[in-house]
Chains A and B, each alone.
Chain A
Amino acid sequence: MPIDFLYPEYEVVRNADRCIACRVCERQCANEVHFYDPENKRMMSDESKCVNCHRCVSLCPTRALKIVKTDHTFKENASWSGTNIAEIYRQAGSGGVLLSSMGNPKQYPIYWDHILINASQVTNPSIDPLREPMETKVFLGAKPSKIQRDDAGRLVNNLPPGLELQVPVMFSAMSYGSISYNAHESLARAATALGTFYNTGEGGLHEDFYQYGPHTIVQVASGRFGVHKAYLEAGAAIEIKMGQGAKPGIGGHLPGAKIVGDISKTRMIPEGSDAISPAPHHDIYSIEDLRQLVFSLKEATEYKKPVIVKIAAVHNVAAIASGIARSGADIIAIDGFRGGTGAAPTRIRDNVGIPIELALASVDERLRQEGIRNHVSLVIGGSIRNSADIVKAIALGADAVYIATSALLALGCHLCRNCHSGKCNWGIATQRPELVRRLNPDVGCQRLINLVTAWNHEIKEMMGGMGINSIEALRGNRLMLRGVGLNEKELEILGIKHAGE
């Protein structure tokens, strides 16, 4: 139907003077945008297929390519933007729910960018991390309310099992299936080398990766895919996924086309069958049910592993977190509404949930008001973009952060937000062997290590500037933060003063 015609969003601009027709663009584009015209001996392109992933741009040896947003436009209308109009055409044509990938791209406030960090001047010295020890080791887990001593009066280690992180950063849940084997291997090896953890997501644990178990968080989600005794025992911690920031309140759906080979085996479902995770856990309809699952998992692993409960940041997050803190969970993970996903209904991704900064601040404060902040550790994720975001998150009250989008970017993701197509040109969100191969785990692992190491250096520099030489002294230290351009209510929720105060 002509109504359904949408002019391509991006245009491939090829500088004919620079193009040497080496055809690397053609060979590397899984969307088949580029092709060679032997008659005229020149490269051509069909931009209607372009997703703007930059694979061709990055590999072009002569910088002959760039992708630009088209200037083709609908009549300007503040309410009826081109996106709004185009989405209506698409839905009127298909009758379907719109799907999107990666985090919420809409223009909501980004509170990280309205928070500034303190530094020492005169009254107290800053500390140079190149000269003095600067500590970023973090322990996650519940803390008992009292010490214990043996008959001889010696302190008894009465701490329940927890996690020890050398850096306050973990890789958050991404399933094998939603991302490739090589992406998982890169994450697993990097987590091991960095002394931190990666997370299996709801896809089970490939048998090749059991060796990284001491640095693996195994997830139990509503579909229970890939969950069995050896799986639970393989990880250092078990995460119950109640929700995800990109799509709070709904489940997941990995199409049968991706359930092939090892993925089917790892998830323990037949090849070609859709992997549908229900919206709720059907054994958890309330908080007391959650408590039962927490203790079932602890029972199954002989109380040797901490249990994490992951929720999406929603309106009532503080009360929910308080309930979870009393449910036997050792760690609460909160995922903000800008968190990524392999696929989510567009409307949900863009309209459901709340910013992680506000969720974190209110959860931390609520748990303190109730005197139970020490019963759990808080891990937050969903839009941690750099080390300053981490410093701000920890000062607001987080123990550590989860990163996923940043980790994928380190692996080569260019945020084209087309994961759901399964044709990831960077070998990340795909299961096609010829594409998966594009991510060499030797390269991927090193890049992840580089990223986290670089961030850790920056965290240390910022801590040193504040005169803080151990990260626990930053946790919840909101006096180290000031808001800029925020209203009274926002400052009140964040629990920080305005700059200048």
Chain B
Amino acid sequence: MKKIYVNEKWCLGCHLCEYYCAFANSGESDMVKALKGIEIHPRIRIEERGNVSFAVSCRHCDEPLCVKSCISGALTEENGVISIDPEKCVGCYTCIMACPYGAVMPSENGAIQKCELCTKNAGGLPACVKGCPNKAIVFEERAV
């Protein structure tokens, strides 16, 4: 299946992916309305030090530790996409500790949040991929 991959060689550390992610998951149709004057909580984060930077988001692991560790069945895997049912999430944050990549995080409403490949919002090409100005984030099929 197609997944999001990042290539730190081309990451500029511009952080646009974070803003496009936050906007895509805001439910708003206008970016200014969605993000003006707020602190954003994107599901993708730029890690950077010195001249090295790269985006981190859920890798949709083949053997997802987060799903395994979820005590309420809120995290599930379907067709390779790992998604969260916020109704079922009890906010124990075991998944956050289990994820070796730091790709799962608390959301503003207590449940956890993670990248769901933009399958629950407007859909199509994930917003971070579409918004990356240097193709450092790509959405593609790769041989395992």
Touch test A–B (CB under 8 Å): yes
Which of A's residues lie within 8 Å of B, judged by CB?
Answer: 17-20, 22-24, 27-28, 41, 58-59, 61-62, 64, 433-434, 437-440, 442-443
Given contacts A20-B31, A62-B32, contact A440 B10 (CB under 8 A): yes
Q: Does B15 touch A at the CB level, under 8 Å?
A: yes
Given contacts A28-B14, A59-B16, A61-B20, contact A20 B35 (CB under 8 A): yes
Which of B23, B32, B134 touches A443 (beta carbons < 8 Å)?
Answer: B134
Given contacts A20-B32, A440-B134, contact A59 B14 (CB under 8 A): yes
CB of B123, distance to nearest CB on chain A (Å)? 19
Interface residues of B, CB < 8 Å — how many?
Answer: 23
Kindly state the separation between the CA atoms of A17 and B35 in the bound complex, as whole angstroms. Answer: 11
Q: Does B51 touch A at the CB level, under 8 Å?
A: yes
Query: Once the chains bind, are B135 and A443 in contact (CB under 8 Å)?
Result: yes
Interface string of B10-31 (1 = CB under 8 A from A): 1111111011100100000001
Q: Does B9 touch A at the CB level, under 8 Å?
A: yes
Kindly state the separation between the CA atoms of A353 and B131 in the bound complex, as whole angstroms. Answer: 44
Q: Does B80 touch A at the CB level, under 8 Å?
A: no
Chain B contacts for A24, CB-based, 8 A: 14-16, 19
Of the candidates B9, B11, B18, B133, the one having the most CB atoms from chain A within 10 angstroms of its own CB is: B133
Kindly state the separation between the CA atoms of A17 and B121 in the bound complex, as whole angstroms. Answer: 26
Kindly state the separation between the CA atoms of A439 and B9 in the bound complex, as whole angstroms. Answer: 11
Closest 5 CB pairs of A and B: A20-B35, A440-B10, A22-B19, A440-B134, A24-B14
Kindly state the separation between the CA atoms of A61 and B42 in the bound complex, as whole angstroms. Answer: 15
Chain A contacts for B12, CB-based, 8 A: 27-28, 434, 437-438
Which of A22, A433, A438 touches B35 (beta carbons < 8 Å)?
Answer: A22
CB of B139, distance to nearest CB on chain A (Å)? 14
Query: Once the chains bind, are A438 and B36 in contact (CB under 8 Å)?
Result: no
Kindly state the separation between the CA atoms of A433 and B52 in the bound complex, as whole angstroms. Answer: 11
Chain B contacts for A61, CB-based, 8 A: 16, 19-20, 23, 31, 131
Kindly state the separation between the CA atoms of A442 and B10 in the bound complex, as whole angstroms. Answer: 10
CB of B128, distance to nearest CB on chain A (Å)? 12
Query: Once the chains bind, are A59 and B35 in contact (CB under 8 Å)?
Result: no
Query: Once the chains bind, are A438 and B134 in contact (CB under 8 Å)?
Result: yes
Kindly state the separation between the CA atoms of A58 and B134 in the bound complex, as whole angstroms. Answer: 12
Query: Once the chains bind, are A62 and B14 in contact (CB under 8 Å)?
Result: no
Query: Once the chains bind, are A27 and B51 in contact (CB under 8 Å)?
Result: no
Chain A contacts for B10, CB-based, 8 A: 437, 440
Given contacts A433-B51, A438-B134, contact A27 B15 (CB under 8 A): yes
Q: Does B98 touch A at the CB level, under 8 Å?
A: no
Which of A17, A23, A59 touches B133 (beta carbons < 8 Å)?
Answer: A59
Interface string of B101-144 (1 = CB under 8 A from A): 00000000000000000000000000000010111100000000
Query: Once the chains bind, are A22 and B15 in contact (CB under 8 Å)?
Result: yes
Chain A contacts for B133, CB-based, 8 A: 58-59, 438
Q: Closest A-chain residue to B50, C-beta based?
A: A434
Chain A contacts for B31, CB-based, 8 A: 20, 61-62
Query: Once the chains bind, are A437 and B9 in contact (CB under 8 Å)?
Result: yes
CB of A433, distance to nearest CB on chain B (Å)? 6
Kindly state the separation between the CA atoms of A436 and B14 in the bound complex, as whole angstroms. Answer: 14
